[in-house]
Amino acid sequence: MPEGDTVYRTAADLRRILEGKVLQHSQFRTPGLATSDLAGRTVTSVRSRGKHLLINIAGTATQSAVSIHTHLKMEGEWHVHPVGTRWRKPAHKARIVLRTSTHEAVGFDLGVVDLLADPDAALAYLGPDLLGDDWDPAKATTRITAHPGTTIGEALLDQRLMAGVGNEYRSEICFLRGVHPETPVADVDVATVVDLARRLLWANKDRKVRVTTGNTAPHARLWVYGRHRQPCRRCHTLIVRATLGPPGQDRSIYFCPACQS
Ligand SMILES: [Zn+2]
């Protein structure tokens, strides 16, 4: 599932082929942007901000600078390949095509696609970015502790408090801290949770496969996420799957009822 580390790595992949390059062709396959054309424009930078990806395009004599803002949500991914190479996903799933003289970047199944005149203002609501150059653990801790009655499981997913953690990481973080996900923030050592989140995302930012156990074997990578009714790797109690989140936005969470009581 795409989380902050996935988007960070995606930005690095796109940066390698797009940054400083002139777009020969662009296509937006989303309602509202179908007539947008960035051909002839230069990509100035590519960066991630939490789970958001920004591809910044230089202005011209007659057009202002603009930023392509995308979010992978549950299913999205970007593929990069030399021009003329066959796509690895069906064309009808493509939402954006950007082509330079040598490479093509195709965004498939993207959850959000829009063009922003001022991306910093548009994303100003996000909390500190766990993988950002300006990462600030004290600020993240302060933002989370300002919600003492919220469960830690919900607070970890709230991108306004801290940006980058998704559903897999929140289960893994709660397990590694020995905290039940429904524990109120007031009863949690938030600074150590924030520190752990940073270390986990940082360790995984350059990996293709996410690992929280230190074991890269396919069925041993995670402590609890996706392991409903399987024995806890520490105490052999069966892992439980529940849902946790605001009404209508509840998502699966996995925990060990013994280790996290
Ligand atoms: Zn356990």
Distance 20 CA to ligand 1 centre (A): 50
pLDDT, residue 58, reads 98
- The pLDDT assigned to 128 comes to 98
CA 96 to centroid of ligand 1, rounded, Å: 44
Q: What confidence score (pLDDT) does residue 245 get?
A: 86
For domain 4-122, is the CATH number 3.20.190.10? yes
Cα gap 251→248, rounded to integer Å: 9
2, 119, 128, 181: which is the annotated catalytic residue? 2
CA of 173 from ligand 1 middle (Å) equals: 14
Please give the distance, rounded to the nearest whole angstrom, from the Cα atom of residue 125 to the centre of ligand 1. Answer: 36
Tens digit of each residue's pLDDT (9 = 90 or more) over 90-102: 999 999 999 999 9
Q: Which CATH class is domain 137-255?
A: mainly alpha
- CA-to-CA distance for 150 and 153, rounded, in angstroms? 8
Maximal CA-CA distance, the chain: 65
Candidate list 9, 51, 99, 170, residue with the active-site label: 51
Structure tokens at 70: 């995308």
Of 82, 74, 255, the residue nearest 153 (C-alpha): 255
pLDDT at 246: 81
Q: What is the structure's pLDDT at 120? A: 95
Active-site residue 51, yes or no?
yes
Domain ranges in the chain?
4-122, 137-255
- Ligand 1 centroid – CA 106 distance (Å): 42
53 membership: H or E segment, kind and range: strand 52-57
Ligand 1 centroid – CA 255 distance (Å): 8
pLDDT score of 247: 78
- Which residue in 15, 41, 233, 251 is the catalytic one? 251
Is 15 one of the catalytic residues?
A: no
Question: Could you count the other beta carbons within 10 Å of the beta carbon of residue 252?
Answer: 15
**Per-residue pLDDT of the chain in tens (261 residues, 90 and over written 9):** 899 999 999 999 999 999 999 999 999 999 899 999 999 999 999 999 999 999 999 999 999 999 999 999 989 999 999 999 999 999 999 999 999 999 999 999 999 999 999 999 999 999 999 999 999 999 999 999 999 999 999 999 999 999 999 999 999 999 999 999 999 999 999 999 999 999 999 999 999 899 999 999 999 999 999 999 999 999 999 999 999 988 778 899 999 999 999
Kindly list the strands in the beta sheet with 77-82, ordered across the sheet, starting from the edge strand earlier in the chain: 25-28, 94-99, 103-108, 77-82
